[in-house]
């Protein structure tokens, strides 16, 4: 389903774009992540997250999840 939000203040759009850039996402990707979080939808890792985790050469999956959570909270 497609959604449309009209009359969003420019300052909010700017902050959303900054947040998206900091998360290595497009604006649409960031909005989807916010909707997923608000609705309790499980997070699907981005390609960048998967690549970063694979480079860590971790032995256990829970180590990767912990590191990703810490990275997102920064």
> Alpha-carbon torsion 48, 31, 44, 2, what sign?
negative
State pLDDT tens for residues 9-51: 999 999 999 999 998 889 999 999 899 889 988 777 778 878 8
Look at residue 2 and tell me whether its pLDDT is greater than 80.
yes
What's residue 21's pLDDT?
A: 93
> If residue 62 lies in a helix (H) or strand (E), which one and from where to where?
helix 61-73
Closest Cα partner for 50 from 59, 61, 41? Answer: 61
Look at residue 8 and tell me whether its pLDDT is greater than 80.
yes
What's residue 14's pLDDT?
A: 97
Q: How far is CA 71 from CA 32, 51, 64, 65, in A?
A: 19, 14, 11, 10
pTM as predicted: 0.57
Q: Do 37 and 16 form a contact (C-beta atoms < 8 A)?
A: no
Q: Which residue has the higher pLDDT, 5 or 49?
A: 5
């Amino acid at each position: 389903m497609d959604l449309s939000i009209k009359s969003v203040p420019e300052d909010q759009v700017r902050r959303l774009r900054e947040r998206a850039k900091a998360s290595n996402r497009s604006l649409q990707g960031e909005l989807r992540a916010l909707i997923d979080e608000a609705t309790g939808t499980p997070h699907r890792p981005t390609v960048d997250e998967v690549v970063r985790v694979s480079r860590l050469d971790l032995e256990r999956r829970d180590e990767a999840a912990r590191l990703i959570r810490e990275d997102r909270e920064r």
